[in-house]
Amino acid sequence: MFKKIFRHMSWAFGITSAIFAFVSDSIFKKIFIIENIKANISDDFKVAIIKILLFIFIFLIIKIIVFIYKKFRSTVVIKKIGYSIYIEYGDILSKCNGKRIINFDECFSTDVGEKTYEINKTSLCGQYIQKTNIKNHQIRKLLKQYNIKASATNSLFQNKIRYESGTLLPNGDDLLLAFAKLNKDGLGCMSYDEFIECLNLLWKEIDKYYGGKDVYMPILGSGVTRMWDESLTQQKILEIILKSYSLTRYKLKLPCKLHIVCKEREGFSLNEIENY
């Protein structure tokens, strides 16, 4: 907080310094406020008061502008050495100028419905399946086409063939992600260690398939997947994703950028990302 205040004060100081450089003290002496000051003080002291008041006024204007900007902005850009991340509000399914990561469960299931083991129709995966009408046999064909190897162990749910969390399956410009592990009831669950391992593999897979294009991904685990800690917020999960990406050597080479597309919801703010 103090760093932000100091930064805003430095901006105000820079602006007022520029004004003082081009406006002579004689101009300030003509300001009506000074003329109305009847106290027995020198004109130079009166000018100093005006300059201080001007600094405070500009500082407050800057604070108001910054507040309004943060209130209505929809994107935060993180630029580090060698890579850029854009965190933005929006609908990932509306993005069409890059690769889109769509998270499925570990079995690449395509059955949408209301049963516990079916994909929630309001989830990203459910919306994608309904929009593209992709079927199970098409998924199997893609798995064979790209020679995607199944995991050595089967899923806890109905002993189905599963794929390591973090594995990507190309479908045009869409990259279908094997994400949530299924329990015996077919519910998506993930522990902290599994989530980290998934991210580590995901960055490596993105490096393989992004093909010189920007990549758009959701905040994984912020939807219907049951994470290791039910109190985890979208904000905390995003911080874990950002930290993981900062540590991996598999980053998109500039000018390509990683876009993390998120939903506006209570308890989540793009402004908090500035501290990353």
* Sign of CA pseudo-dihedral 246, 251, 257, 261: negative
Q: With contact defined as beta carbons under 8 Å apart, do 179 and 198 qualify?
A: yes
**What values do phi and psi take at 121, rounded to 5?**
-65, -20
Q: Which two tokens stand for residue 148?
A: 């995607």
User: Tell me, what's the pLDDT at 251?
Assistant: 96
Please name the CATH architecture into which domain 75-272 falls: 3-Layer(aba) Sandwich (3.40)
User: Tell me, what's the pLDDT at 240?
Assistant: 92
Mean pLDDT of successive 10-residue segments in the chain (276 residues)? 68 78 65 55 70 86 83 85 93 93 94 86 93 95 96 92 96 95 88 92 97 95 69 82 95 96 74 66
Q: pTM value?
A: 0.78
User: Tell me, what's the pLDDT at 59?
Assistant: 87
51 Cβ neighbours under 8 A, 6+ residues apart: 16, 20, 28
User: Tell me, what's the pLDDT at 25?
Assistant: 62
Domain regions of the chain by residue span: 1-72, 75-272
User: Tell me, what's the pLDDT at 12?
Assistant: 74
* Sign of CA pseudo-dihedral 112, 203, 173, 88: positive
Q: Of 121, 104, 105, which Cα lies nearest the Cα of 113?
A: 121
User: Tell me, what's the pLDDT at 102?
Assistant: 96
User: Tell me, what's the pLDDT at 161?
Assistant: 95
User: Tell me, what's the pLDDT at 253?
Assistant: 95
Name the residue type at position 206: I
Q: Of 92, 157, 155, which Cα lies nearest the Cα of 127?
A: 92
Q: Of 146, 147, 184, 189, which Cα lies nearest the Cα of 165?
A: 189
